[in-house]
Structure 1
Amino acid sequence: MTKVLFVCLGNICRSPMAEGLMRKYSEEYQLEIVVDSAATSRWEVGNPVYSGTQKILRKENVDYSQMFSRQIKLGDFELFDWIIGMDHDNVDDLRAMAPKEYHHKIHLYQEVVPGKEDQAIPDPWYTGDFEQTYRLVKAGLPLWAEKFASNKS
């Protein structure tokens, strides 16, 4: 079973959106994937998913009632097969936190999207554009699922 962790700064907008949408995608396509999300910071620990992300997840019929912000733990680097940061700062922070032997597990979300390999998923907390974040996350889902299936990190 492939274990995937999506990570952003606060774990209330982008990473829970990716978690919920990937969970739904994996159920629809009967993929054997365990999905979770976490934050690089402690700022929002214990808080629920932000209202803009709640709206997107409701529209997609994704239950977010048990999603609460948590900070990534050292054990996550060992537990998860794929640790996917939503922007470059997240990836840099993850690499700074992770023991070197787990760096190969850390990826930028957009790296699988042709033509956008080095682009970030903008933080809708700052942009206010949850629809843009939704479109970008949704576009990456099948590409990540394909990569998980090939198991090439």
Structure 2
Amino acid sequence: MRIMFVCTGNICRSPMGELLMSHYLTGTTVQVSSAGTRGLPMHPIDPSSGRLMDSVGIESSGFHSRRLTRQMADDADLILCFEKQQRKDIVTLAPAAVRYTFLLNDFANMCDYCAQHNMVTGTTIQERLESVIRRSSMIRPMIPLPKDIDDPHGREFDQFCIAANQTNEAIRRILKSMRKHHDVSLSAVRSQIVA
């Protein structure tokens, strides 16, 4: 399974999503990547995002930004973005991706709902995530409206901490909902990221 995180510049939020999810899913066959709707090719991770990842033992120095292409979006199995406008930009670029592109918080809410109502099926993490994706249009009316995770770019360090914690919390909610038949260790990174 290929999971892609998408933000705007691919230097602040989506790199943190990629690095955190990759860390949690070490040892699985899931591939995690990221890109930006207006990505800055080969740009390193923002120093504040890098500092936060380094603070929880996740190496970030090798990260480089990419600009989202239609091929990248078409090749993904699950795209997680941070703002409603990004979702619009993604599905405009790659219309077929509409079925598997979600705001990160929206998908976390869907996973919670499916887990609470015994709707998550399959034995592998890939099968279980796919079962939520398949049910997404049916359960949307039952879950809260999703909230954006604000872009901290060019802002104070505390705004990066907020974005990192919101991203980490959503990822942990997704993976916790998948745990019935697949043990995903969530202890490797603190639930609150603080540098």
TMscore range, shorter length: 0.7 to 0.9
User: What is the match of residue 41 of structure 1?
Assistant: 38
Confirm or deny: 8 A CA contact 1:110 1:117 kept in the other structure. no
Structure 1 runs (4+) greater than 6 angstroms displaced:
147-150
CA distance in 2, matches of 1:11, 1:102: 19
User: What is the match of residue 22 of structure 1?
Assistant: 21
- With normalisation by structure 1, the TM-score equals 0.85
User: What is the match of residue 75 of structure 1?
Assistant: 71
CA distance in 2, matches of 1:81, 1:149: 19
AA paired with 2:45?
Answer: V
Segments of structure 1 that go 5 or more residues without pairing to the other structure are none
1:120 paired with 2:163, answer no
Q: Give the drift of 1:135.
A: 1.0
Instruction: Tell me how many residue pairs correspond in the alignment.
Output: 145
1:133 paired with 2:163, answer yes
The one-character-per-residue Cα deviations of 1:16-63 (angstroms, maximum 9, x if unpaired) are: 011111111112xx4432100000014x22210001101111011112
Structure with the greater alpha carbon radius of gyration: 2
Change over 3 Å in CA distance of 1:96–1:149 after alignment to 2: farther
Instruction: Please list, as runs of the form range in 1=range in 2, the aligned pairs for 1:140-151 lying within 5 A after superposition.
Output: 140-145=170-175
Identical amino acids, percent of aligned pairs: 22
SS of the equivalent of 2:25 reads: helix
CA distance in 2, matches of 1:149, 1:102: 26
Out of 83, 92, 103, the position equivalent to 1:96 is 92
SS of the equivalent of 2:5 reads: strand
User: What is the match of residue 108 of structure 1?
Assistant: 103
User: What is the match of residue 58 of structure 1?
Assistant: 54
Change over 3 Å in CA distance of 1:148–1:92 after alignment to 2: farther
- With normalisation by structure 2, the TM-score equals 0.67
CA distance in 1, matches of 2:60, 2:144: 28
